Amino acid sequence: MTAAPDDAALPWLAGPAHDIATKQRGHALLVQGNPGAGVFELALRVARTWLCETDGADAPCGRCTACHLLASNSHPDFRALLPELTQVELGWSVGGAEAADAGDGEGKAKKKPSKEIRIEAVRDAISWTQKSSSRGRAKVLLLFPADAMNLVASNALLKTLEEPPQGVRLLLVAEDAERLLPTLRSRCQRLLFAGPTPAQALAWLEGQGVVNAPVLLAAAGGHPLAARRLAADGFDAAAWIALPKRIADGKWEPPAGATVPRLREVLQKLCHDAMAVAAGAAPRYFPATSLPPPAAWPKLADWSQSLARLARHDEHPFNAPLITDSLLAEAKAVWTKPRGRAA
Ligand SMILES: [Zn+2]
């Protein structure tokens, strides 16, 4: 069984987690923040603080029985609902909740991990909240990302959110709270997690032994956990720096196995930075010196809209090589001067 992620190792979580755990009295909290900045680990730390059995603890003590049970993911009064895909990404295994899927795998081809928090898991968790607490402190149900619940699952949770059983606290975690049903949002107390400062993020990343940490951190939008994942996936800093000009020149080839959503993300980062520079601001994802010369604003605006449209559909199956070619041609065209006209 996989141990829970070590939230104590993310030093920027202690302050916000302490504030939430000790000052927020609501039974249903909606914590909004970026997963790459540690918003899930933050919520986990809040849950651990609530369930810690050391008297007067305003942070998880790490020594009591409850803390040990939480660290091994086996506390009977804690449950996390995560889509299968998120569990895989986090290297996290959830006791109990995903058991609903256990029966249908036999003899069939392996299914792709689900991106949804399933209705069965939500119903199961709701009936779990109705039983009394095993260790007599509280019960905590964490949902991450909460927008992975579809309409049916969200609706099933409404009543529990409105009137949770005695001692039950719900932690909904989402990157973008606007993607939740308004009826869910309105029943929660909303909190915003800003993440680490750039200096904290960089110091932590360097402490993890990540080389080219500033380039990785920028490529990951300033989110240190996302940057560490890039490093683990073999991120090539030199190739990243060379990428903008190669794309503008039409000379870039996506790495083997690159998916359309992944390519679209990279192009959106480049588009973002090209627009920032065109507007006189600093780029976010690429070093300023790595960017091609400023492009015409109307072309950038069209490109940005086109990528945003694709983002709404890129889970759909389509002809990936065809889309890849057209995406790269579109990107190159942004920097191609019209023929026969003065620039
Ligand atoms: Zn403890």
pLDDT at 110: 61
pLDDT at 92: 76
Extents of the domains making up the chain: 7-192, 236-334
Measured in angstroms, how far is the CA atom of residue 209 from the centroid of ligand 1? 30
Measured in angstroms, how far is the CA atom of residue 70 from the centroid of ligand 1? 9
Q: Does the bond joining 145 to the residue before it have cis omega, within 30 degrees of 0?
A: yes
Measured in angstroms, how far is the CA atom of residue 53 from the centroid of ligand 1? 5
Phi, psi of 326 (to 5 degrees): -70, -35
Residues in the chain: 343
Q: Average pLDDT of the chain? A: 89
The answer to whether residue 88 scores a pLDDT higher than 90 is no
State how far the Cα of 243 lies from the Cα of 232, in Å rounded to an integer. 20
The answer to whether residue 68 scores a pLDDT higher than 90 is yes
Measured in angstroms, how far is the CA atom of residue 67 from the centroid of ligand 1? 4
Would you say 231 and 217 are in contact if contact means Cβ atoms under 8 Å apart?
A: no
Q: One-letter amino acid identity for 29? A: L
For residue 109, give every residue at least 6 positions away whose Cβ sits within 8 Å of its Cβ, in sequence order, or none.
Answer: none
Measured in angstroms, how far is the CA atom of residue 29 from the centroid of ligand 1? 22
pLDDT at 8: 57
pLDDT at 2: 41
Q: What is the pLDDT of residues 293-336, one digit of tens each?
A: 999 999 999 999 999 999 888 767 668 888 899 999 999 999 99
State how far the Cα of 233 lies from the Cα of 78, in Å rounded to an integer. 31
Q: What is the pLDDT of residues 102-156, one digit of tens each?
A: 444 444 456 788 899 999 999 999 999 999 999 989 999 999 999 999 999 999 9
Would you say 68 and 31 are in contact if contact means Cβ atoms under 8 Å apart?
A: no
Measured in angstroms, how far is the CA atom of residue 23 from the centroid of ligand 1? 18
Specify the DSSP class assigned to residue 117: B
Measured in angstroms, how far is the CA atom of residue 39 from the centroid of ligand 1? 21
Would you say 45 and 132 are in contact if contact means Cβ atoms under 8 Å apart?
A: no
Average pLDDT over residues 14-37: 94
Helices 320-334, 260-278: inter-axial angle, 10-degree rounding: 10
Measured in angstroms, how far is the CA atom of residue 268 from the centroid of ligand 1? 44
Q: What share of the chain is helix, strand, coil (3-state, %, to 5)?
A: 50, 10, 40
Average pLDDT over residues 25-53: 95
pLDDT at 112: 81
Measured in angstroms, how far is the CA atom of residue 52 from the centroid of ligand 1? 4
Identify the three-state secondary structure at position 296.
Answer: coil
Name the least confident of 179-183, 220-224, 264-268, 316-320. Answer: 316-320
Identify the three-state secondary structure at position 95.
Answer: coil
State how far the Cα of 308 lies from the Cα of 339, in Å rounded to an integer. 28
Measured in angstroms, how far is the CA atom of residue 73 from the centroid of ligand 1? 14
Q: Output the six-digit token pair for 153.
A: 């699952």
pLDDT at 340: 56
Measured in angstroms, how far is the CA atom of residue 314 from the centroid of ligand 1? 44
Q: Output the six-digit token pair for 273.
A: 């930075």
How many other C-beta atoms lie within 10 A of the C-beta of residue 112? Answer: 8
CA diameter of the chain: 79
Measured in angstroms, how far is the CA atom of residue 66 from the centroid of ligand 1? 6
Average pLDDT over residues 211-233: 95
State how far the Cα of 83 lies from the Cα of 232, in Å rounded to an integer. 22
State how far the Cα of 96 lies from the Cα of 125, in Å rounded to an integer. 9
Identify the three-state secondary structure at position 169.
Answer: strand
* Virtual torsion, Cα 264, 267, 272, 273, nearest 10 deg: 160
Measured in angstroms, how far is the CA atom of residue 189 from the centroid of ligand 1? 26
Q: What is the pLDDT of residues 99-113, one digit of tens each?
A: 334 444 444 456 788
Q: H or E stretch including 30?
A: strand 28-32
Distance of CA 45 to the CA centre of its chain: 17
Would you say 184 and 173 are in contact if contact means Cβ atoms under 8 Å apart?
A: no
Does the domain at 7-192 match CATH 3.90.660.10? Answer given as: no
